[in-house]
Amino acid sequence: MVGKLLHNQKLPFICPDPLIGPLRGADKTYDNKMKMAAVTVIRLALAFGIFKAAEKMKSDQLRTSALFGGLLSAPAAGFFWSAKLLQNGAREFKRGLIDHSFFKVGLGAGSWVLGCIAAQTSQTLSYNGYRWGAVEVINHRLTKDIEYRGWKGY
């Protein structure tokens, strides 16, 4: 049952695929799990660094994420914004349940799904196999043989 759930195509709309990728594998043979986990950890650490930098500098988060995303890792900046969408979606969903508001529940669920799509999309965009950022040049060796289920590149 758990195996079927992990390999289901609808699961990335409930939980972001980069987080479940190390459990189910990064290609059609369900292999390369450790490579995917390593790249995900690197990008999550960079996304957390972008969050802390935006918090410390008390500046515009869009400008900060664009700057650090452009210099270090665009997929990490995508993680940052997808995490924001997931956080807002969970908050609105909870408020909707407390207030018995179907509109807020739908808004929160929609924001959550949009965050999952943003996480998946931000990890797959590339140009000639490369992603933008200095850290992504290093990550290219780790991600060379990895692809999302149906999406090109990771």
Contact 106, 100 (CB under 8 A): no
Token pair listed for 127: 């140009």
Residue 24: what pLDDT?
66
Residue 27: what pLDDT?
59
Residue 151: what pLDDT?
47
Contact 64, 54 (CB under 8 A): yes
Token pair listed for 101: 């508001």
Contact 74, 125 (CB under 8 A): yes
C-alpha 58/C-alpha 61 separation (Å) is 8
pLDDT tens-place values along the chain, 154 residues long = 455 555 556 677 777 777 776 676 655 666 667 777 777 888 888 888 888 887 777 767 777 778 787 788 888 888 888 888 999 999 999 999 998 888 999 999 999 989 888 888 777 776 666 677 778 777 777 766 665 544 444 4
Q: Where are the domains of the chain?
A: 2-143
